[in-house]
């Protein structure tokens, strides 16, 4: 086998980062949901909330562990696969990653121990504080890593000294132009992902006849979060897109498959972008719509890919990922509002709604992956936009070495995804512990009861 080591290194990193992001996408949002459950239990004393907490904290622990181990892998891969990146941009990347470790990783890992095993060892107040600290930790972690990612998309606050990035202003580096948008876009995405996860699993349990009072509370919480976060996400996503247009026009041109700069550019619904011929086949277009969305003018000028020859990303994957993300967003909005409408009328959710919710359990994953493909593939061929090309920082390993390790990673990841889903399924199949509340009456809920919602 004689594949290009550069391509292999990229596939390896893409595989790792795709696997990794699935878990933070759940845990950032779920940590706050758990804090909410715990707070509700603390305020109301309703054991159903406590059961909800103990069921989902187990899912959280599993998700968090998957995120930690795959995250450690990535922190090493910067060095093993992309040493040039650290040599050239280390002055910026290093401290941002360092702050993530110092402010977030230890905090999350330490207090998660109390969330999981602290029941008889700490007071309820300390338990609640621990849940809060873990949630804060997930958000801090997202803050630093998204700041670095955004800096790679829209670098600012630096100067170059013989090709090496040196710092001019930390403020401008951390709060670089695309950071606020990306941060809100990603935290909302995580909230949506976890909302659909908890609502979907609860709906699945309801359909299987395993639901207790706690299950319904969880379902309503998920639907409520989704109903608020979904429209907000579409709004923030639009702002994020306009920001990208300003700073990374080549990415937007690829997202919309606009090959030539033009006025009154159409919005292409579907097409087969052809990188060789530099045009679209079988395009279905809405006239003037792209200009209208991007410039808010009927005949606004949109810059095309012809202005960035040799410096723009491959079009088809960016174009299609973007459409998958949009479609998922609309679908999530529809299901969330349907659920909210049903909950507001105070009825038990209908069978079709439960079915729709359980189908949507992992919809967040699809949208998150698609979104990240848009933004990361859309940055190519740069690793730091306009500054460092990906092919200039790759380590020099043989393709045999890379093929071997890639195979190892991919096999392990596939195995782990199946195991993760299997564990979720196993946990979801247990009868709800909060059913015990119904049978015994609220007051006598026994401490030894099964700890499943």
Partner 1 sequence: MEYWLPIVYLAIMGLALLVYVILDGYDLGVGMLLPGATDAEKDLMIASIGPFWDANETWIVLGVGVLLIAFPLAHGIILSSLYIPVTLMLLGLILRGVAFDLRVKGGDHRKALWNRAFFVGSLLASVSQGWMLGAYITGLREDITSLLFAGLIAATLPALYVLLGAAWLLMKSEGELFDKAVRWGRRAMLPMGVALLLVSVATPVVSEAIARRWFSLPNAIGLLPIPLVCALVYGGLFWFLNRPELLRRGYAWLVYAGIVLICVMAALGLAFSIFPDVVMGRMTLWEASASVASLQFTLVGVVITLPMIVFYTIYIYRIFHGKARALSYE
Binding mask 162-181 for partner 1 (x = CB under 8 A): ----xx--x-----------
C-alpha 336/C-alpha 223 separation (Å) is 6
Closer by beta carbon to partner 1, 12 or else 244:
12
d(CA 418, CA 431): 22
Q: Which is nearer to partner 1, 242 or 410 (CB)?
A: 410
Q: Confirm if 234 and 329 have CB atoms less than 8 A apart.
A: yes
Query: Least distance to partner 1 from the beta carbon of 269, Å?
Result: 41
Whole-number Å distance between alpha carbons of 51 and 203: 17
When asked if residue 61 is in the footprint of partner 1 (CB under 8 A), the reply is yes
Give 96 or 290: the residue with its C-beta nearer to partner 1. 96
CA distance 289 to 409: 43
- 62 contributes a contact to partner 1 by CB under 8 A: yes
Strand, coil or helix: 118 = coil
117 binds partner 1 (CB under 8 A): yes
Based on CB atoms, which residue is closest to partner 1, 13 or 338? 13
Is 295 or 430 the residue whose CB approaches partner 1 more closely? 430
Judged by CB, which is closer to partner 1: 6, or 105? 105
Contact 210, 48 (CB under 8 A): no
**Rounded-to-integer distance, Cα 302 and Cα 38, Å:** 50
Q: Does the footprint of partner 1 cover residue 79 (CB under 8 A)?
A: yes
Complex with partner 1: residue 163 or 287, whichever CB lies closer: 163
Provide φ and ψ at 66, rounded to 5°: -60, -40
The residues, any chain, with a CB within 8 Å of residue 375's CB and separated by 6 or more, are 153, 182, 244, 251
Does 75 sit near partner 1 (CB under 8 A)?
A: yes
User: Can residue 118 be called a binding residue for partner 1 (CB under 8 A)?
Assistant: yes
In this structure, the number of other CB atoms found within 10 A of the CB of residue 383 comes to: 20
Cβ atoms of residues 30 and 189 within 8 Å: no
- Number of residues lying near partner 1 (CB under 8 A): 71
Which one among 80, 299, 350, 446 touches partner 1, defined by CB under 8 A?
80
As measured in angstroms, the least distance from the Cβ of 206 to partner 1 is: 21
**Residue with smaller CB distance to partner 1, 86 or 228:** 86
Under rule CB under 8 A, which residues in 393-422 are in contact with partner 1? 395-397, 401, 405, 408-409, 412, 416, 419-420, 422
Q: Which residues, 6+ apart, have CB-to-CB distance to 120 below 8 Å? A: none
Q: Shortest approach of partner 1 to residue 345 CB, angstroms? A: 36
Q: How far is the CB of 84 from partner 1 (least distance, A)?
A: 7
Residues 6+ apart with CB under 8 A from 316: 272, 273, 275
Residues 194-223 contacting partner 1, CB under 8 A: none
CA dihedral sign, ordered 360, 364, 369, 375: positive
Contact with partner 1 (CB under 8 A): which of 5, 29, 84, 364? 84
For partner 1, the binding residue among 15, 36, 119, 261 (CB under 8 A) is 119
Interacting residue with partner 1 among 99, 183, 365, 373 (CB under 8 A): 99
Between the CA of residue 235 and those of 20, 80, 149, 153, 228, what are the distances in Å? 26, 39, 21, 21, 12
């Amino acid at each position: 086998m004689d594949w290009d080591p550069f391509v292999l290194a990229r596939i390896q990193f893409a595989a790792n980062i795709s696997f990794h992001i699935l878990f933070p996408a759940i845990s950032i949002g779920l940590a706050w949901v758990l804090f909410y459950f715990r707070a509700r239990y603390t305020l109301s004393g309703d054991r159903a909330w406590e059961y909800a907490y103990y069921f989902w904290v187990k899912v959280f622990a599993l998700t968090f562990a998957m995120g930690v181990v795959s995250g450690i892998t990535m922190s090493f891969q910067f060095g093993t696969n992309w040493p040039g990146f650290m040599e050239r941009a280390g002055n910026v990347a290093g401290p941002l990653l360092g702050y993530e470790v110092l402010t977030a990783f230890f905090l999350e890992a330490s207090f998660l121990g109390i969330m999981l095993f602290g029941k008889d060892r700490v007071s309820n107040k300390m338990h609640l504080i621990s849940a809060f600290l873990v949630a804060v930790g997930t958000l801090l972690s997202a803050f630093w890593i998204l700041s670095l990612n955004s800096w790679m998309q829209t670098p600012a606050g630096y100067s170059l000294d013989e090709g090496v990035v040196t710092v001019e202003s930390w403020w401008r580096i951390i709060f670089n132009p695309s950071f606020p948008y990306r941060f809100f876009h990603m935290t909302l995405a995580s909230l949506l992902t976890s909302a659909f996860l908890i609502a979907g699993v609860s709906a699945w349990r309801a359909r299987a006849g395993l639901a207790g009072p706690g299950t319904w509370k969880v379902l309503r919480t998920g639907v409520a979060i989704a109903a608020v976060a979904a429209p907000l996400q579409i709004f923030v996503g639009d702002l994020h897109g306009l920001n990208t247009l300003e700073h990374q026009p080549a990415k937007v041109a690829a997202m919309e498959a606009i090959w030539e700069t033009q006025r009154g550019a159409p919005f292409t619904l579907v097409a087969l972008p052809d990188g060789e011929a530099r045009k679209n086949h079988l395009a279905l277009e809405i006239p003037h719509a792209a200009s209208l969305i991007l410039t808010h003018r009927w005949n606004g000028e949109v810059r095309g890919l012809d202005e960035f020859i040799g410096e723009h990303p491959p079009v088809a994957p960016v174009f299609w990922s973007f459409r998958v993300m949009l479609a998922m967003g609309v679908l999530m909005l529809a299901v969330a509002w349907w659920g909210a409408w049903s909950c507001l009328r105070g009825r038990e959710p209908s069978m079709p709604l439960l079915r729709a919710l359980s189908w949507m359990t992992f919809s967040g994953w699809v949208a998150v992956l698609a979104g990240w493909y848009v933004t990361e593939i859309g940055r190519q061929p740069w690793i730091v936009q306009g500054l460092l090309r990906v092919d200039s920082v790759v380590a020099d390993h043989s393709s045999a070495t890379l093929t071997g390790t890639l195979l190892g990673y991919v096999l392990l990841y596939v195995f782990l995804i199946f195991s993760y889903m299997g564990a979720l399924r196993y946990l979801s199949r247990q009868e709800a512990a909060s059913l015990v509340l119904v049978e015994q009456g609220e007051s006598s809920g026994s401490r030894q009861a099964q700890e499943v919602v």
